[in-house]
């Protein structure tokens, strides 16, 4: 992952063909990940993720964070999950493990990447520093400390404030302790803290100039002339630089006990706390005239989980069984509670408003919504594998979930005045057969039912009632095979999924501004096949490659946000074709020095970025080319290299919506750029391992 510069959840999609990740619309709260075209599109605090994220066996739930650092491995589990461990998911799981300390071993590593805006074609400045060290404290305790820092400057530029560049600073630290009092007991204590500080976080940047002359004149007056509106999505216009800070803390206790030679017990206890502070975010992209803003807000997200899991391995029979409890709480509160509600003056507004920069001509007036949500999940699960013959196995499992959601909201009060509640139970599971004709080949087929709970979502217009979302149910079939071809592992599978009551979203006007709210869009189908190959081709060349063909279709009858017919067309954020390859070629230079060249190339077909039937909102097919070459000591003690991400200046964006003017679509498009996907980044890297 370090070789391919995988530093975030979004970066993971560069090495996995079935995975798409979008950080837009709050996707960094629940991960924003999609597998086989099915992802969370209803971004509301109480909505469960379609693709769950598990870190060191602890469920992240709705309290995720985009930074990935000091990661040992990431496993992508496709299709409905929930019978093997506590976290359930309707579309899949990203199962990550951080680097663990080892008793009796001492090690340290440090890496630095640097890219400068304008140098050698780099389109932004980026500094990434990461490192870690492991050591033992006696013969029963080991410790690992790890840190990460990243600075991005120039991803976007505010033309109204004298071309002021956006600056984003990220840092994260982790401490991990391993205690082995006996040969049969292992205790892991893991603590994390991370923060992202964004100065100039803009909701969207224009990528297509308006066809409405009045709208373009408004943008030109603040510096957004047509020549600065390109698919690079760099330039935007705000009278006051938007700011947002996200900080997360997590604590995990993992206990693994070998009760007998065949029986094990695992306990996973986790607490996560995320705070999102929003002093000011401009949602309209306009410095002149009325603009929608969210101001003086803080979102608090807390989650506690407890999982107990028993595992038994016998002769011809294996079983895993356990229980899971999760309690998630969310509250939106004023960042500065001393400010009065309804004040229209700049710097004094709390909540959502549409006003002129000086606080006049408001409509609606600033409205604060005290949102509250609590999700409580109780689950029992079991999964067994039975050996029918020496080559044929039957596997299957069940999951029972008891779920409850309590939510509330109000207007211009500190506490909610409107309340709602949902309670439901669900039985999901899987069954399948696995045939192993030889030790290197496995052929399998399975049927699974996945579940994503109902939700009470907050309306975009606070004057309206809750928007209830029905539970998603995923019916999935899969047939596949894994085998070795020489030194290459080959994995081929075909799949079909039908997701009932898909939880999506729609864009509506509140006042004169376009905002999003949740809704069920009906039944969505996803089908296709995947081919993956990985391994050591020869002593010099290693590869990891994959291709997926994946039609993902809107319901039989479905109208987009613009009223056009999208029935049975490709779903938003789901490419039909995607190919990835990551490889490295190594050439010895001397007995202790080697040169290397690695590449990570992604090709995907066109991608719909909004629920609209217009080419304006379709990102064209394209390739992402990342290259790195350098030299290193043969034993890996040091490395020096040059790199380029997005060599061909592919302009992929996270999402796209219209730039409206005076309450109507003005013919333009605004998008969210992503470092290394929308921009080209060129720089140098050094690393040390001890």
Give the C-alpha separation, 345 to 367, whole Å.
13
Of 220, 329, 229, nearest to 273 (Cα)? Answer: 329
Q: Check which CATH number belongs to the domain holding 659 and give it.
A: 2.40.170.20
Q: Is residue 152 part of a domain?
A: yes
Q: What integer pLDDT is reported at residue 68 of this predicted model?
A: 87
DSSP string for 396-452: EEEEEEEEEEEEEE-SSSSS-SEEEEEEEEEEEEEEEEEEEEETTEEEEEEEEEEEE
Q: Would you place residue 269 in the very low, low, confident or very high pLDDT band (cuts 50, 70, 90)?
A: very high
> How many whole angstroms separate alpha carbon 419 and alpha carbon 37?
34
pLDDT in tens, 35-80: 999 988 877 888 999 999 999 999 998 898 888 899 999 999 999 9
Structure tokens at 656: 């796209």
Whole-prediction pTM value? 0.93
Residue 31 has pLDDT above 70, yes or no: no
User: Does the pLDDT value for residue 599 go beyond 70?
Assistant: yes
In a domain, 120, yes or no: yes
- pLDDT surpassing 60 at residue 527: yes
Mean pLDDT on 210-222: 90
Separation in Å, CA 494 to CA 180, 537, 547, 579: 43, 25, 12, 16
- Asked, for residue 609, whether it belongs to a domain, the answer is yes
Least confident range from 293-302, 411-420, 593-602, 652-661: namely 652-661
Task: Decide: residue 360, CB within 10 A, 0-12 exposed, 13-18 middle, 19+ buried.
Answer: exposed
Mean pLDDT of the chain: 92
Which pLDDT tens digit goes with each residue over 298-314? 999 999 999 999 999 99
Asked if residue 3 has pLDDT above 80, the reply is no
Question: Lowest-pLDDT range, 346-355, 498-507, 509-518, 619-628?
Answer: 509-518
* CA angle at 97 for the pair 93 and 103, rounded to the nearest 5°: 155
Using CA atoms in the order 572, 575, 576, 582, what is the torsion angle rounded to 10 degrees?
Answer: -160
Confidence at 6, pLDDT banded by 50, 70, 90: confident
Per-residue confidence (pLDDT) for residue 40, from 0 to 100 = 84
As a whole number, mean pLDDT of residues 182-200 equals 96
Q: How high is the pLDDT of residue 447? A: 98
Model confidence at 342, pLDDT cuts 50, 70, 90, reads very high
| Residue 290 clears pLDDT 90, i.e. is over it | no
In a domain, 328, yes or no: yes
| Total count of domains within the chain | 1
Beta bridge partners of 80: none
Q: Is 317 exposed, middle or buried (0-12, 13-18, 19+ CB in 10 A)?
A: exposed
Alpha carbons 666 and 287: distance in angstroms, whole number: 17
Local confidence band at 202 (pLDDT 50, 70, 90 cut-offs): low
Which domain range does residue 101 map to? 10-689
The pLDDT of residue 310 is 98
Q: What is the DSSP letter of 14?
A: G
Residue with tokens 């020549």: 227
Task: Say whether pLDDT at 507 is over 70.
Answer: yes
- Nearest CA-CA partner of 248 in 202, 297, 307, 302: 302
Lowest mean pLDDT segment, chosen from 144-153, 358-367, 420-429: 358-367
% of the chain residues with pLDDT over 70: 97
In a domain, 2, yes or no: no
Res 23 pLDDT > 70: no
Phi, psi of 27 (to 5 degrees): -65, -20
Instruction: Please provide the size of the chain in residues.
Output: 690
């Amino acid at each position: 992952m370090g070789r391919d510069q995988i530093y975030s959840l979004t970066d993971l999609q560069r090495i996995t063909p079935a995975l798409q990740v979008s950080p837009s619309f709050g996707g960094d709260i629940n991960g924003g990940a999609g597998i086989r075209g099915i992802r969370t599109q209803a971004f509301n605090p109480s909505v469960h993720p379609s693709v769950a994220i598990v870190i060191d066996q602890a469920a992240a739930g709705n309290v995720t964070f985009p930074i990935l650092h000091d990661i040992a491995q990431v496993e992508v589990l496709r299709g409905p999950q929930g019978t093997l461990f506590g976290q359930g998911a309707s579309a899949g799981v990203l199962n990550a493990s951080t680097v663990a300390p080892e008793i009796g071993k001492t090690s340290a590593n440090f890496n630095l990447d640097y890219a400068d805006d304008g140098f050698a074609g780099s389109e932004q400045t980026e500094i990434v520093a990461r490192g870690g060290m492991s050591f033992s404290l006696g013969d029963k305790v080991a410790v690992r400390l790890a840190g990460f820092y990243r600075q991005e400057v120039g991803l976007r530029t505010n033309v109204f404030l004298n071309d002021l560049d956006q600056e984003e600073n990220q840092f994260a630290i982790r401490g991990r302790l391993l205690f082995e009092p006996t040969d049969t007991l292992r205790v892991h204590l893991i603590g994390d803290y991370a923060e992202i500080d964004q100065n100039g976080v803009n909701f969207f940047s224009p990528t297509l100039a308006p066809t409405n002359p009045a709208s373009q004149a408004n943008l030109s007056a603040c510096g957004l002339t047509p020549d600065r509106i390109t698919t690079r999505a760099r330039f935007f216009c705000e009278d006051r630089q938007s700011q947002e800070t996200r900080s997360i803390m997590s604590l995990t206790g993992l206990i693994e006990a070998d009760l007998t030679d065949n029986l094990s017990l695992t306990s996973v206890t986790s607490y996560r706390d995320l705070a999102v502070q929003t002093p000011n975010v401009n949602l309209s992209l306009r410095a002149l005239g009325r603009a929608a803003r969210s101001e003086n807000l803080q979102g608090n997200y807390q989650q506690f989980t407890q999982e107990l899991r028993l595992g038994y391995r016998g002769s011809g029979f294996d079983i895993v069984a356990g229980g899971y409890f999760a309690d998630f709480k969310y509250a939106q509160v004023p960042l500065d509670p001393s400010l009065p509600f309804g004040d229209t003056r700049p710097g004094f507004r709390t909540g959502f408003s549409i006003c002129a920069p000086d606080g006049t001509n408001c409509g609606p007036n600033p409205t604060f919504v005290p949102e509250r949500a609590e999700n409580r999940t109780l689950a029992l699960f079991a999964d067994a594998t039975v050996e029918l013959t020496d080559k044929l196995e039957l596997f299957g499992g069940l999951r029972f979930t008891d779920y409850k959601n309590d939510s509330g909201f109000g207007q211009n009060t500190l506490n909610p005045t409107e309340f709602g509640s949902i309670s439901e139970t669900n039985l999901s599971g899987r069954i399948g057969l696995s045939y192993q004709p030889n030790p290197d080949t496995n052929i399998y087929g399975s049927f699974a039912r996945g579940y994503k709970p109902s939700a009470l979502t907050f309306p975009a217009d606070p004057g309206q009632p809750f928007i209830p979302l029905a539970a998603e149910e995923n019916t999935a079939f899969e047939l596949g095979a894994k085998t070795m071809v020489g030194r290459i592992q080959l994995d081929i599978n075909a799949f079909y999924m039908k997701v009932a009551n898909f939880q999506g979203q729609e864009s509506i006007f509140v006042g004169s501004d376009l905002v999003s709210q949740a809704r069920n869009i009906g039944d969505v189908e996803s089908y296709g096949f995947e081919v993956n190959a990985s391994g050591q081709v020869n002593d010099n060349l290693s590869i990891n490659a994959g291709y997926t063909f994946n039609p993902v279709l809107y319901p039989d009858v479905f109208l987009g946000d613009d009223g056009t017919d999208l029935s049975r067309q490709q779903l938003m954020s789901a490419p039909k074709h995607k190919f990835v390859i990551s490889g490295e070629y190594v050439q010895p230079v001397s007995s202790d020095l080697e040169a290397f060249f690695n590449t990570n190339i992604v090709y995907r077909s066109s991608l719909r970025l909004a629920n609209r039937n217009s080419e304006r909102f379709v990102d064209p097919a394209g390739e992402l080319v990342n290259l790195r070459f350098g030299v290193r000591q043969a034993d890996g003690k040091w490395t020096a290299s040059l790199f380029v991400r997005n060599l061909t200046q592919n302009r992929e964006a996270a999402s796209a919506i219209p730039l409206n003017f005076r309450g109507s679509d003005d013919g333009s498009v605004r998008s969210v750029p992503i470092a290394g996907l929308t921009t080209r980044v060129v720089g140098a890297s050094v690393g040390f391992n001890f």
